[in-house]
Structures are given as C-alpha cells and as structure tokens.
Chain A
Amino acid sequence: MSQIDRRVPFFVVASLVCVALVPVAEPGLRYVPVATAIVYAVLAVLFFFDWRGRQPPA
C-alpha cells in the first residue's frame, strides 16, 4: 500500500484548528468555525476514500 495522500492529514489538521477556534469565537459567529471544521472533516474523509479506491487490490 502506497503512502497516504498527504491532503488527508492536512485536512484533518485544518479541521482540528477550526474546532479549537470554536470556544474562542463570539457566540453569534460560532457557526463559522463549526461549519468550516465540518467541511474540512468531510474533505478528509472523501480524499481518504479516493486514495484507498486507487490502491491496487491486495
């Protein structure tokens, strides 16, 4: 199995950064880091499955 697509950990880290910003953000604007964290988490999952789908069968 080849090395994982580096975009996957990148998106995971970006998602975690957004999660870390949630408690710091103003209550009225907390939906922005929450939504951005969800988008990055979804991108990480999609890119992970895309990478796994490209692997040759074992």
Chain B
Amino acid sequence: MTTGAVLTIVVALIFDVTNGFHDSANSIATVVSTRVLSPRYAVMWAAAFNFIAFLVFKTAVASTIAKGVVDQDVLTVGVVFAGLSGAIIWNLATYWLGLPSSSSHALVGGIAGAAVARAGFDVLLGDGLRRIGVFIVLSPLIGLALGLILTIFLQWTFHRVKQLDRLNKGFRRGQLLSAAAYSLGHGGNDAQKTMGVILAVLIASGKVAPDGDTPLWVVLSSHTAIAIGTLMGGWRIVKTMGSRITRLQPAGGMAAETGAALTLFYTSHAGIPVSTTHTITGAIVGVGASRRLSAVRWGVAGRVVVAWIVTIPGAGVAAAFTSVLIRAMA
C-alpha cells in the first residue's frame, strides 16, 4: 500500500475519533442529567455500545459511502484524501461558526466535491445521492414523530399511577436501555462512514475488489476509533459541563433516545448514512412538542435546517479546492 493510502486511512480514523468526541454529549446527556449514571460510568456505557455495534449491524452504510456517491473509476486515493480533508475543514469552520453541521453530510459533500473537481459532474451517482439527500430531511422528521408518539404513549399508559417516585425509578432504569440503544445506533451508523472511506481507499489501492466486502480489521478499527472519541469527549463534558447539561424528565429522555435509536437502526439496516445529531435533535423536539410548540427551542431547529442546506455544497467546495491544491503540488 502507498504512503498516501496509509496516510488517508490514518486521517479517516482521526476523523472517526473526532466524530465520537463531538457526539458523545448526545449519548450521555440524558442519563447524566437525570442522575441515572455518574458521568464517568455514562461515558463508559456509551463507548462500550459504540464499540459492540459491529456485532449488530452489517456494513451497508459503508458500502453506500464507498460505492454509492461517485463513480468508482474516479475514486482514487487522492480524491478520497481531498474529500476527507474538505469534510474536516468544513467541520472546523462550522464548529467555529456554531452551526450544528453534520460530519456525515460533510463527508458525502467532500467526496462528491473532490470527485467533481477531478472529473466533472457526470461522476456523481444520482441514486445514492438522492437516497442520502432525502434522508437528510426525513431522519429528523422520523425522530421527531417517534419522540412525540412515544412520549404520548408513556403519558397515556402511566397517567393513573400515583406513586411517582416508583414510576421515575422505572423510567431511569429504562433510560439505561434507551441510552445503550442510542449509542448502538450511533456507533452503527457513524463508524460505518469511516469504514466506507477506508474501503474506498482499499478499492482504489487494489487491496479489495470493487464488489468486495469490508475487511474485519477495518470494521474493528473504525468502531475502536469512535469509542475512543466518545471516551475523550465524555471526559471533556465531565470537566466542563458537569450539572449544566439541560434537564430532561426521565420519561422524556427515554422517549427521545428510543425514537432516535429506532431511526438509526432502520437507516443503518437500509444502508443510509444519516446525521445522528440531527436525528436526536428531532426526537428531543418531538418530546418538547408533546407539551406545546413553545417548549421547543426553535432557534436550534432553524440552525439545523440551515445546516441541511449548506453542508454538502460547502464541504464539496472545500474538498474541490483541496483536490486542486493537491494536484498543483503533485
């Protein structure tokens, strides 16, 4: 394997670590704020389920990233590296701007932008991009509907129960399961995006046949990287956020995590890369909307919509510039 290929794989794994680091708050916020687990154990709980997700999900999302975005003939190591670099540049820029951008959408936009800079718009695969584009909008809407319906279901089922302490104790235990399910879905969908990048590099290097499966070492290293990122991000939260995490009732936290987890299970199974952050944001909006619409922080929801629109073109442009720069330097 060439040095460029090895370097691209290392950068992809670093991207995976930053993904876990960035998203760990989503996985542990509700269990910590409702005091179900201490921050230390919550972080370990989430990282463990991020890792074991490889036992549950196949690699359909990885295949979509590696084979479903652009024509494989133009997917060279240089294009993958430029795409990855574009996604990282976009993530850093939006982090600085405070825009809730999706790493997944940035990755898709980056690979598409680098390939277009190399060989024009004809190399884009319409079916794959359409599938990803449709679910950019659908996944938060599905999460929202499930969060809302589960909250209403829990309210209706338990509204006659008088022993509220006992009921909350039950919901807190349930949150252990819902947090585990969400972390499983997060690990399943997000680690596979890195697997897709590494698979594209291996195909471009001739180490894997174009119709070949993802090697086991790629699966294990991607899940390990995201779990390490979750552990690192969690420690940052323990230090800086402490009890300042938004308060949620145990039933609401359980409904939001379960709604998001079900959405991620479905999309991972169907091979659709979605934003885990936007999905859980949708589910939390759904829980808030079960009370009244004014309970929802619409500013955050509006910023998510802006991020939908600008991320793929923005990361694509950043990757196209990187691709041109790499060719100029070569």
Contacts and interface: CB of A to CB of B under 8 A. Distances in A.
13 contacts: A7-B289, A10-B293, A14-B144, A14-B145, A17-B137, A21-B134, A21-B137, A21-B138, A24-B130, A25-B131, A36-B145, A40-B145, A43-B148
A36 B137 CA distance: 11
B133 interface: yes
Interface string A9-46: 01000100110010011100100110010011001000
Interface string B179-223: 000000000000000000000000000000000000000000000
Interface residues on B, range: 10 to 19
B263 to A, nearest CB: 10
Interface of B: 127, 130-131, 133-134, 137-138, 141-142, 144-145, 148-149, 270, 289, 292-293
Contacts of B130: 24-26
A29 B267 CA distance: 11
A6 interface: yes
Contacts, number: 45
Interface residues of A, number: 17
Contacts of A29: 131, 134, 270
A14 B145 CA distance: 10
Contacts of A25: 130-131, 134
